[in-house]
Amino acid sequence: MPLKRLPAEKVRAQVIQHLSESKSEMFSENFSRFTDDDRSWDIAFWQKQGPAAIFDAMWGMIKDHRLLTKNDATEPRLQRAVEYFGKIGDNQVHFISREDLISVKIASGRDQDLKDVEAIKKNS
């Protein structure tokens, strides 16, 4: 079933209503054309939120996507393979697998992570 697109003003009113009902301490908005948007506002906004809020927002999007595309509301879980490499002193050393490291870096989309992926693939 295709989703019905709501008018921008109605969406804006719903967001403002939701934020006023929540205990949000920060409200910020930005209006720009997609063609003129350099994402600097988005980056600054999310950097102010901190890692926990970023993860919560991302996890919410994953759950929404799973519900909309698979009609499945069960809690997804992160999967990754961990490889054991030995000990440093008295501590066991575990690392994420090469394949999962590449997947995580691609998913982040950051320029440095994408450069890291190129270097990992080049040196293997």
What are 24-71's pLDDT values in tens digits? 556 677 777 777 778 888 888 888 888 888 888 888 888 888 888 877
Is pTM beyond 0.75? Reply is no
pLDDT: which is higher, 13 or 4: 13
What integer pLDDT is reported at residue 107 of this predicted model? 83
Closest of 107, 101, 91, 104 to residue 123, by C-alpha = 101
36, two tokens: 């003129």
Residues 67, 76 contacting (CB under 8 angstroms) = no
